Amino acid sequence: MLPLPVFDHHRPRTLSAALDLLARLGDKAVVLAGGTDVLPNMKHGLVEPDHVVSIAGIDELRGISLDREGDDDKLVLGAGARLAEIESSILVRRVAPALAEAAGQVGGPHHRAMGTLGGNICLDTRCRYYNQTYFWRKSLGFCLKKDGTVCHVVRGGSRCVAAASNDTAPALIALDADLHLLGPRGARIVAAHDFYVADGIKNTVLEPGELVVRVSITRRPGRRSSFEKLRRRNAIDFPLLSIAVRLDVSGVETPRVDAADVVVSALGARPRRVRAASNVRPGTPFDVAARELAEGAYAECKPLPNVDDDTEWRREMVPALVERAVTRLEG
């Protein structure tokens, strides 16, 4: 069993107190929400903080509600909402079913009972050469992401390509969610699509001392969404591939697709928006949309050997999962 290193534990009760602590402690501290990712990484020596700031007891970060803002209804989720809450929430299932489905496929029941939305949004990237013990990594000469200068995935590569493995990220991007951030320089709102960058070492735009405090998703008439995940087992495992689909649908007896978005993740450091989705024409039949989106995703998505299992098999599963996700939304 790998022990945790020695650290000072802080439990602020308010958001302002947490921000003050993070500003004072700087890069010597890490944030802990549910701990399902940070604590294992500390045991492996991937994160080595002197201080751990737990935000689990901050009431301001909790809650799920449907709020009226101007002419729009918005689903608002606190960053501290547990993944199990999101999975079972009637509000989330009605407004953002892809998010409920994604939250329901994170890890196992104990991970979802502890893990939070904010923690999953900020989940560290993963790689077969990084998420190992110190002894294992040292024997290989370490890597770009931690302690080394070599990328073992892309030979000669100068940028880390560890995979984005947070299940909620593609769903939030497909749903055009906004992430509300708060830090030393004040509050700001960042679209979920703009929150992630193509750098496996640090794949978000979060600034030092900044926190995700809530997420908002605008409710749209006729909008449907779904989520699919590929993994070795149907529980516990991180994704080998994850796909979120959002369709804007019109018609009752014969529904048609007017617009679409497809987001594929666990390929590289940033979830990938499939460009072919923007070519779907208003009034497209479901079977045609499913075929076009599946073919477009296959053409654009080429998995890297950054996670376990065969890259060709993962690529062949891209159109299968896209077609399944679209077909489920027809009923």
Domain spans of the chain, in order of start: 223-331
CB atoms < 10 A from the CB of 269, how many?
Answer: 25
Q: What is the DSSP string of 50-67?
A: SEEEE-TT-GGG--EEEE
- Give residue 118's pLDDT band: very low, low, confident or very high (50, 70, 90): very high
CB atoms < 10 A from the CB of 310, how many?
Answer: 11
Pairing of strands 51-54, 8-10: parallel
Report the share of the chain in percent with pLDDT over 90. Answer: 94
Residue 36 pLDDT more than 90? yes
320-330 pLDDT tens trace: 999 999 999 99
CB atoms < 10 A from the CB of 171, how many?
Answer: 31
16-33 pLDDT tens trace: 999 999 999 999 999 999
According to DSSP, the residues that pair with 260 across neighbouring strands are 247
163-180 pLDDT tens trace: 999 999 999 999 999 999
- Give the largest CA-CA distance in the chain: 62
81-101 pLDDT tens trace: 999 999 999 999 999 999 999
Q: Which two tokens stand for residue 180?
A: 């509300």
101-115 pLDDT tens trace: 999 999 999 999 999
51-79 pLDDT tens trace: 999 999 999 999 999 999 888 999 999 99
- Give residue 156's pLDDT band: very low, low, confident or very high (50, 70, 90): confident
What lies within 8 Å, CB to CB, of 94 at 6+ separation is: none
Nearest of 264, 238, 237, 270 to residue 164 by alpha carbon: 270
246-294 pLDDT tens trace: 999 999 889 999 999 999 999 999 999 999 999 999 999 999 999 999 9
Q: Which two tokens stand for residue 231?
A: 């993994």
Residue 34 DSSP SS3? coil
Angle between helices 286-300 and 311-328 (to 10 degrees): 160
For tokens 């996670």, the residue is 307
201-245 pLDDT tens trace: 999 999 999 999 999 999 999 999 999 999 999 889 999 999 999
Host H or E run for residue 295 = helix 286-300
According to DSSP, the residues that pair with 163 across neighbouring strands are 126
- Give residue 313's pLDDT band: very low, low, confident or very high (50, 70, 90): very high
Residue 138 DSSP SS3? helix
Nearest of 153, 165, 311 to residue 238 by alpha carbon: 165
For tokens 């921000």, the residue is 19
Residue 309 pLDDT more than 80? no
Q: How far apart are CA 329 and CA 249, in angstroms?
A: 9
In this prediction, residue 234 carries a pLDDT of: 87
Mean pLDDT calculated for residue range 151-170: 94
3-state SS record for 80-118 = CCEHHHHHHCHHHHHHCHHHHHHHCCCCCHHHHHHCEHH
Residue 157 pLDDT more than 90? no
Architecture of domain 223-331: 2-Layer Sandwich (3.30)
